[in-house]
Structure 1
Amino acid sequence: MKRNPNFPFAPAKIPFFYGWISMAAGTIGVLCSIPGQTIGVSVFTDYLIDELQLNRDALSTAYLIGTVASSTILTYAGKIYDKFGARFTAIIAALTLAITLMLFSASTGIASGLSKTFSIKYSVVSFAMVSIFFFLLRFSGQGVLTLASRNLIMKWFDKRRGLANSISSAIQSFGFAVAPLFIAMLIGEFDWRTAYQILAILTLLFVVFAFIVYRDNPEECGLIPDGKVLEAKSKNNTSFTPKRDYTLPEARSTWVFWIFALALCFSAFFVTGFTFNVISIFDSCGYSEQKALSVFIPTSIVSIITAFVGNILSDYTRLQKLLLVYLLGCLLSALGVAILNYPMGYYILIFGNGVMGGLFAVLASLTWPRFFGRKHLGAISGLSMSLIVFASAIAPLFFSRIYTLTGNYFLAGYIGVAIVVLLLLLSGKAKNPQLN
């Protein structure tokens, strides 16, 4: 398939560097993935439990099955991205996401029809059906659309990569923070089915947008990263430009790949478990639903500040230092859940989630092109995304089972603290392979 980078218009003819348009487009692409992210699913959780006649453990298991299944093929999706580029990959992912959202809106009718046709218990049919829907939702939204949109931004910049990502991350953080309130507003104004349909229509509009605006990289458009050759910003900055492109097998044989990937996996795991059960978590500590959903607003403020500062610093400092701060944020996040029944736990949770979320956006985007180059970025980031999605898959059931067994979520927080301490101990040997 030809990429046709100059159709419907040539980026080189734009009077300013097209990378800034790509940065905006990639940011919109990540925001459009929200219905496939846990933060988008979480608002619908209780409605799905009621309408599909599933308990919390059953829905979490369906989420686990669908998400794990999607994680197994994301590395392959990354290779498709390397071959066909960001525009093709994002369009296919967004189309799949839109169709899946429409299927969710009709899920009760579909389950009822199948149950009557095959004389199978409604809850059994709904469990199997929603597992398939979660597979499509997570693969297209959290997986492929996010991968294509993030990598789009990374490929258009080199020495200005941190600056571009800082702007994008700030917008993403705000968008993810207000998304639960926006979706809850749609549900309150209409109903949960119509909310799904509205999100599907918005996603279809993005398909048209991606076709017009997305371009995979500057070279195929007759341009270069950053728009021009830039001098190093400091005596150490030249060490951040990759000297060689690693293949996927070479990248996954390095220690640093696994340390950074597992650290990112923790955020996906813990945030997913927390977000999927956020209303239940706060309810178990005596807080209201409004209090639970409103936690994302102050968190986003911390996240935006952290992402902005982290991205700017990333142009001047090694990512290993940012990894350390990120893991400390993870530690506070887990501790916040563990002691959420105390007033101080609420504020520790907000600050920890903010730091963790802000620096996750930095590390998830910048690590792979800086450490391993751009040539095989899709495959390498695809493997990372596969691990992240897998980690997010097991979290809801993990949190749900802890609640079923103990009546609260405190143990999940303490286990999270133990995992982060282990990652902190292992992170000391995570060195940039380009410096070897």
Structure 2
Amino acid sequence: MKRNPNFPFAPAKFPFFYGWVSMAAGTIGVLCSIPGQTIGVSVFTDYLIDELQLSRDALSTAYLIGTVASSSILTYAGKLYDKFGARFTAIFSAIALALTLVLFSFSTGIAGRFSSLSGIKYSIVSFTIVSILFFVLRFSGQGVLTLASRNLIMKWFDKKRGFANSISSAIQSFGFAVAPLFIAMLIAEFNWQNAYLILALLTILFVGFAYIFYRDNPEECGLIPDGKITEESANKNNAFTPSKDYTLKEARNTWVFWIFALSICFSAFFITGFTFNVISIFESVGYSQQKALGVFLPTSVVSILSAFIGNIVSDYTRLQKILGVYLLACLLSALGLAILHIPIGYYVLILGNGVMGGLFAVLASLTWPRFFGKKHLGAISGLSMSLIVFASAVAPLFFSLIFTTTGAYTYAGYISALMVVVLLVFFGKAKNPQLN
């Protein structure tokens, strides 16, 4: 498949460095993945439960099945990304995401038709259908589209990678913060089925946008990362420029890959479990629904500041140091949940979630190209993404089972804190392999 990087226009002829266009385009791509992210799915949860005649546990199980299944093939999707590039990978995933959103809109009718034709109970048919739809939704949205869009930004920058990602991360954090309100507004104005159709239409519009503006890397366009390199910038941060391109097999045989990958997974695990059960979590300690939903705004402010500062600092320091701060924030989040029944727990949770979320955006984007090079970036980040998706899949059920068993979420916090402590034990091995 020909990439045709100079069609419909040549990036090399732009009046300024095209990497900034790629940064903006990749950021929009990540935002377009929101319907496939947990924060996008959660807004529709109660409507799907009612219309598809499923219990909350049944819908969570369908979500688990679909998400775990999607995580199992994301590494292969990353290899396809390495072969075909960001443009065609993003287009493919966006088309799949749009079609899935359309099918979600008609899921009740589809389930009803299959049930009447087959004689199988409606809830069984609806459970099967929604499991399949969750598989495609999570694979295309949270998985492939996010992977292609993040890697697009990373490939166009080297020494300015942290600065470019700081701008992108801040916009992403704001977009993810307001997305539930936007989707809820669509549902209130047009009903949940039409809200899915509107999101599908926006995703289809992105397909055309991606074809016009996505370019996989600067080299195939006759450019170099960062644009024109001055002598000063060429001598700056040479220690952070990879000298070796690792294969997937070589990367996964290193300690540092698993320490960073599992650390990044913790954020996906904790935030997903927390978000899915946020109202129940706060009600279990006597807080109102308004108090529960109100936690996201201050958290997003802390997240945006953390992402911006973390990305800027990353251009001048080792990622291992940022990982240390990130893990301490993870520990605060877990302990904040465990002690949420006392007033200070609320503020500890906000601080922990905010810093953890902001630095997640730093580490999930910058680690793999800095540590392992860009040649096999799709395969390596694909494996990381598959682990992230898997972690997000098991979290809702884990939190739910803790609550069902104990009547509270306290032990979910303590067990999560123990996970972070284990990661901190191995923190000393999280060194950049390019510097060994």
Task: Using structure 1 for the length normalisation, give the TM-score.
Answer: 0.97
Encode CA deviations 1:227-280: one digit per residue, 9 max, x unaligned: 022446698711100011001100010000000000011111111111122232
Give the distance between the partners of 2:254 and 2:88, measured in 1 at CA. 31
Give the distance between the partners of 2:93 and 2:291, measured in 1 at CA. 33
Check 1:264–1:144 CA distance in 2 against 1; reply closer, same or farther (3 A cut): same
Secondary structure, in 3 states, of the residue corresponding to 1:225? coil
Counterpart AA for 2:89? T
> Equivalent residue for 2:308?
308
5+ residue gaps in structure 2? none
Secondary structure, in 3 states, of the residue corresponding to 1:216? coil
Note the aligned Cα RMSD (angstroms).
1.4
Say if 2:388 is the partner of 1:391. no
Check 1:50–1:339 CA distance in 2 against 1; reply closer, same or farther (3 A cut): farther
> Equivalent residue for 2:210?
210
Say if 2:45 is the partner of 1:45. yes
5+ residue gaps in structure 1? none
Counterpart AA for 1:132? I
> Equivalent residue for 1:197?
197
Counterpart AA for 1:33? S
Query: Structure 1 stretch 38-47 or stretch 311-320: which is displaced more?
Result: 38-47
Counterpart AA for 1:192? W
- Whether the aligned pair in 2 keeps the contact of 1:91 and 1:210 (CA below 8 Å) is yes
Check 1:403–1:52 CA distance in 2 against 1; reply closer, same or farther (3 A cut): farther
Q: 1:270-309 counterparts in 2 under 5 A? A: 270-309=270-309
* Alpha-carbon shift at residue 122 of structure 1 (Å): 1.4
Check 1:388–1:195 CA distance in 2 against 1; reply closer, same or farther (3 A cut): same
Query: Structure 1 stretch 196-205 or stretch 146-155: which is displaced more?
Result: 196-205
Give the distance between the partners of 1:19 and 1:100, measured in 2 at CA. 31
Encode CA deviations 1:373-416: one digit per residue, 9 max, x unaligned: 01100010001101111111111111122222223322211111
Encode CA deviations 1:301-354: one digit per residue, 9 max, x unaligned: 100110111001100000000000001111111112222222222211111111
Q: 1:24-423 counterparts in 2 under 5 A? A: 24-231=24-231, 237-423=237-423
- Whether the aligned pair in 2 keeps the contact of 1:236 and 1:316 (CA below 8 Å) is no
- Whether the aligned pair in 2 keeps the contact of 1:30 and 1:145 (CA below 8 Å) is yes
Secondary structure, in 3 states, of the residue corresponding to 1:85? helix
Check 1:234–1:13 CA distance in 2 against 1; reply closer, same or farther (3 A cut): closer
* Alpha-carbon shift at residue 31 of structure 1 (Å): 0.5
Give the distance between the partners of 2:365 and 2:232, measured in 1 at CA. 21
Counterpart AA for 1:247? T
Give the distance between the partners of 2:220 and 2:253, measured in 1 at CA. 30
Check 1:389–1:289 CA distance in 2 against 1; reply closer, same or farther (3 A cut): same
Secondary structure, in 3 states, of the residue corresponding to 1:286? coil
Counterpart AA for 2:224? I
* Alpha-carbon shift at residue 106 of structure 1 (Å): 1.3
Give the distance between the partners of 1:43 and 1:289, measured in 2 at CA. 14
* Alpha-carbon shift at residue 139 of structure 1 (Å): 0.1
Query: Structure 1 stretch 81-90 or stretch 97-106: which is displaced more?
Result: 97-106
Give the distance between the partners of 1:390 and 1:232, measured in 2 at CA. 43
Query: Structure 1 stretch 15-24 or stretch 182-191: which is displaced more?
Result: 182-191
Counterpart AA for 1:389? V
* Alpha-carbon shift at residue 281 of structure 1 (Å): 2.1
Encode CA deviations 1:51-83: one digit per residue, 9 max, x unaligned: 222222211111111011001110010010000
Check 1:15–1:199 CA distance in 2 against 1; reply closer, same or farther (3 A cut): same
How many pairs were matched up? 436
Give the distance between the partners of 1:234 and 1:278, measured in 2 at CA. 48
Give the distance between the partners of 1:153 and 1:101, measured in 2 at CA. 26
Query: Structure 1 stretch 326-335 or stretch 180-189: which is displaced more?
Result: 180-189
Counterpart AA for 1:285? V
Give the distance between the partners of 1:215 and 1:182, measured in 2 at CA. 29
Query: Structure 1 stretch 371-380 or stretch 51-60: which is displaced more?
Result: 51-60
Secondary structure, in 3 states, of the residue corresponding to 1:159? coil
- Whether the aligned pair in 2 keeps the contact of 1:180 and 1:293 (CA below 8 Å) is no
Give the distance between the partners of 2:63 and 2:380, measured in 1 at CA. 25
Secondary structure, in 3 states, of the residue corresponding to 1:365? helix
Give the distance between the partners of 1:406 and 1:116, measured in 2 at CA. 41
Task: Using structure 2 for the length normalisation, give the TM-score.
Answer: 0.97
Query: Structure 1 stretch 255-264 or stretch 225-234: which is displaced more?
Result: 225-234
Give the distance between the partners of 2:303 and 2:363, measured in 1 at CA. 13
- Whether the aligned pair in 2 keeps the contact of 1:54 and 1:123 (CA below 8 Å) is yes
% identical aligned pairs: 80
Give the distance between the partners of 1:323 and 1:315, measured in 2 at CA. 14
* Alpha-carbon shift at residue 38 of structure 1 (Å): 0.4
